[in-house]
């Protein structure tokens, strides 16, 4: 790899940028307001915040609008912006049990304890284009009451124990709980390289490009790698976590708001020779916003990495190849002038040819 910097053409570059701005901003249609992105394209906004590793829906919406909907470019804009900001503090450690649920399904158990809440989902619906979607014509302000309503209380969400704890109570789960509470690895300060602590893998996957993570999972299930096998999902949750900060004067806890996350537990059937075969183990996925594909892939890859124990290249693939900005940046740099690089390659070809006296120019021997 290598390319030489080029200079010149500044006016053309400025004009090209201006063309992007002008054609985008002077389009005959009405400008899309930021609230519209947040309210009507929430999954796109969520995905971009997750891959940027930054929670701020309005800035994410702004990035999408500026990038003309290019999601990697939007992530790039947000990461570039974030790099200009000082880091003021860390939140208190927020336990995921503090999540206020907006959705919960448990594919492994029909009656997991607590309700299964479909929430905002089209998982069980036929996919048909609807010309009226988004127009308000399809809105139902009074949805039909479900046949089986476990609890219609307006003040209590009802008991929602974690399936993991149900398995723990049945002594069916390998106990990997730690008591030493290691400091988390900060991938924004130090690049994570294998073998990395689990906190580095979880952070890396949480901000990985969704498609890249999905591909890692799929090529390990059906593709050539095969380092993991299909698991059963325990909890699939979407909900809100509080953002708690220590008050600088009192040291008490201040909740300055909340953010939404998707969380997944993947139950692994241990079957290795040196594994605890009469118990299960669990992989864990958590990412910003509502992005179930990403959290499911993450949970699968988390347990796969743990079982693999750095014997294969799986961890390396996750840490080094799933960041969307890294991969897209490398790919797109190929569009930049490579004149000197390519000229030197051509010169080498010609030199090789000239060094072979027996071969006439034009011969393919």
The gap from C-alpha 65 to its chain's centroid, in whole angstroms, comes to 20
Q: Is 183 helix (H, G, I), strand (E, B) or coil?
A: coil
Q: Is 82 in the site for other proteins (CB under 8 A)?
A: yes
Please identify which residue in 37, 166, 192, 203 interacts with other proteins, judged by CB under 8 A. 203
Q: Per rule CB under 8 A, is residue 176 in the interface with other proteins?
A: yes
Stretch that binds other proteins, among 125-133, 171-179, 320-328, 334-342 (CB under 8 A): 171-179
Least spacing, CB of residue 307 vs other proteins, in Å:
13
User: Any contact of residue 95 with other proteins (CB under 8 A)?
Assistant: yes
- Assign 296 to helix, strand or coil: helix
* CB of residue 256 to other proteins, shortest distance in Å: 4
Residue 23 contacts other proteins per CB under 8 A: no
Distance, C-alpha 115 to centroid of its chain: 27
User: Which residues, including other chains, have CB under 8 Å from residue 171's CB and lie 6 or more apart?
Assistant: 279
**255 near 243, Cβ under 8 Å?**
yes
Considering the complex, what minimum distance in angstroms separates the CB of residue 294 from other proteins? 12
Range 304-363, binding other proteins (CB under 8 A)? none
- Cα of 316 vs its chain's centroid, Å: 17
Note whether 136 binds other proteins by CB under 8 A: no
Binding span for other proteins by CB under 8 A among 26-34, 160-168, 310-318, 353-361 = 160-168
Helix (H) or strand (E) holding 264: strand 253-269
d(CA 323, CA 204): 8
Binding to other proteins by residue 215, rule CB under 8 A? no
210 binds other proteins (CB under 8 A): no
Beta bridge partners of 245: 254
Q: Give the residue from 364, 356, 234 showing the smallest Cα distance to 295.
A: 234
Nearer to other proteins, 42 or 219 (CB): 42
| DSSP code at position 359 | S
Angle among Cα 244, 249, 252 to the nearest 5 degrees reads 40
Check binding of 162 to other proteins (CB under 8 A): yes
30 is a contact residue toward other proteins (CB under 8 A): no
Q: How far is the CB of 286 from other proteins (least distance, A)?
A: 6
> Using CB under 8 A, which of 61, 99, 297, 314 touches other proteins?
99
Establish if 146 lies at the interface with other proteins (CB under 8 A).
yes
100 binding other proteins? (CB under 8 A):
yes
Cα radius of gyration (the chain): 25
Binding other proteins (rule: CB under 8 A), the pick from 50, 227, 290, 294 is: 50
How far, in Å, CA of 351 to CA of 342, rounded? 14
CB of 210 to other proteins, least distance (A): 14
If one asks whether residue 241 binds other proteins (CB under 8 A), the answer comes out as yes
Rounded Cα distance, 102 and 230, in Å: 26
Residue closer to other proteins (CB basis): 166 or 343: 166
Cis peptide before 195 (omega within 30 of 0): yes
């Amino acid at each position: 790899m290598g390319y030489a910097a080029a200079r010149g053409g500044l006016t053309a570059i400025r004009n090209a940028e201006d063309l992007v701005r002008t054609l985008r901003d002077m389009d005959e249609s009405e400008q899309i307001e930021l609230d519209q992105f947040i309210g009507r394209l929430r999954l796109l906004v969520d995905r971009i915040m997750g891959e940027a590793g930054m929670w701020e829906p309005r800035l994410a919406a702004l990035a999408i609008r500026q990038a003309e909907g290019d999601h990697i470019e939007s992530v790039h804009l947000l990461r570039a912006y974030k790099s200009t900001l000082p880091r003021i503090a860390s939140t208190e450690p927020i336990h995921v049990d503090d999540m206020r649920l907006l959705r919960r399904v448990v594919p492994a158990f029909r009656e997991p304890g607590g309700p299964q809440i479909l929430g905002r989902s089209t998982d069980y619906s036929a996919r048909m284009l609807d010309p009226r979607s988004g127009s308000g014509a399809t809105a139902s302000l009074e949805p039909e009451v479900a046949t089986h309503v476990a609890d219609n209380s307006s003040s209590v969400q009802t008991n929602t124990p974690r399936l993991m704890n149900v398995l723990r109570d049945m002594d069916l789960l390998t106990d990997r709980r730690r008591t030493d509470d290691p400091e988390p690895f900060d991938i924004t300060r130090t690049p994570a390289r294998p073998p990395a602590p689990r906190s580095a893998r979880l952070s890396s996957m949480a901000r990985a490009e969704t498609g890249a993570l999905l591909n890692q999972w799929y090529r390990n299930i059906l593709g050539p790698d095969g380092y993991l096998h299909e698991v059963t999902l325990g909890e699939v949750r979407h909900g809100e976590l509080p953002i708690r900060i220590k008050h600088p004067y009192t040291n008490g806890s201040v909740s300055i708001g909340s953010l939404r996350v998707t969380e997944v537990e993947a139950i692994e059937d241990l079957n290795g020779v040196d594994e605890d075969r009469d118990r299960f183990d669990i992989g864990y996925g958590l990412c910003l916003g509502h992005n179930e594909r990403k959290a499911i892939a993450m949970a699968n890859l988390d347990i796969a990495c743990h079982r693999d124990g750095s014997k294969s290249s799986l961890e390396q693939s996750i840490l080094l190849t799933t960041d969307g900005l890294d991969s897209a940046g490398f790919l797109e740099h190929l569009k930049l002038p490579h004149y000197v690089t390519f000229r030197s390659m051509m010169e080498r070809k010609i030199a090789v040819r000239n060094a072979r006296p027996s071969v006439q120019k034009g011969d393919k021997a």
